[in-house]
Amino acid sequence: MAFLHLAVLGDPVAHSLSPVIHAAALEFAGLEGEYTRRRVDGQGMGRAAADLRSGRLTGANVTMPHKALAAELADRRSEAVVRSGGANTLWMEEGRLHADSTDPDGVRFAWQHARLPDEAPVLLLGAGAAAAAALLALSDRDVRVAARRPEAAHDLVARVGARAAVAPWGRPVAGAVLVNATPLGMGGEDLPAAVLEQAGGLLELAYGHGQTPAEMALRARNLPVASGELMLVGQGAASFAIWTGVEVPPTVMLEALAGHRDQPTARP
């Protein structure tokens, strides 16, 4: 296989740990390549699409705020992209630019790895692209969606085509696994207190500097918690398999993240 040119596209991307996990995946698979960060605006996304079409890029991950634009730029969109409205994985195949969303894979991996309860109700917080991916992954469960703007929650359920109820923001669901698809917590913010008090577990979809207040609160009560880094690994492993045809054990990526955290000079 030729040298692989892979990248994550978004703004901001300086914090992204994707290069860490994909470098480990390339080494495990015995493939030559690089995975870089590209901070891009809308025009930069267009240039990245051109690089994919020309072969200057082999594949790309897309993060906020460009997942919807990534879907628009593609020639072929998976069902997950059509239903969620966003793509996080781009590649060329048979002369066409393809788009897929491996975020649902990330949700399912994080859920299983953290042993979150399968029979518990789900309280999904948020109504954006991350929430859409979570709703796709958890569509066979008892899901309630809550957003600060109720109309956004209703729009999300309709767009995804899921059987889910809309719940008022801040109203708890006893024993529910919280799926936090909002930025709350990345800067130390708290989730609604009543929601946390009655939760039976937590899945964070984003990651930042250490644990969020919600993670710390639920771990203090010995409840199961899935961090945003588990989500990152799950979706990253699925993207890597699309680009290379190689299925890398998620443990390879998890070990790379652990090693990165242990480095005294490591930066997120």
Q: What residues act catalytically?
A: 67
| Cβ 240 vs Cβ 89: under 8 Å | no
State the pairing for strand pair 4-10/33-39.
parallel
Instruction: Name the residue among 233, 173, 175, 171 with its Cα closest to residue 205.
Output: 233
- Strand partners of residue 62: 9
Using a 10 angstrom Cβ sphere, with 0-12 exposed, 13-18 middle and 19 or more buried, the burial of residue 27 is middle
3-state secondary structure of 86: coil
Residue 97 phi/psi, 5° resolution?
A: -85, 115
Q: How far apart are CA 266 and CA 268, in angstroms?
A: 7
Number of residues that make up the chain:
268
Q: Which two tokens stand for residue 82?
A: 């059509």
Q: How far apart are CA 69 and CA 42, in angstroms?
A: 8
Q: How far apart are CA 173 and CA 179, in angstroms?
A: 12
- Quickly tell me which residue has 């969020």 as its tokens: 212
Instruction: Name the residue among 50, 45, 58 with its Cα closest to residue 5.
Output: 58
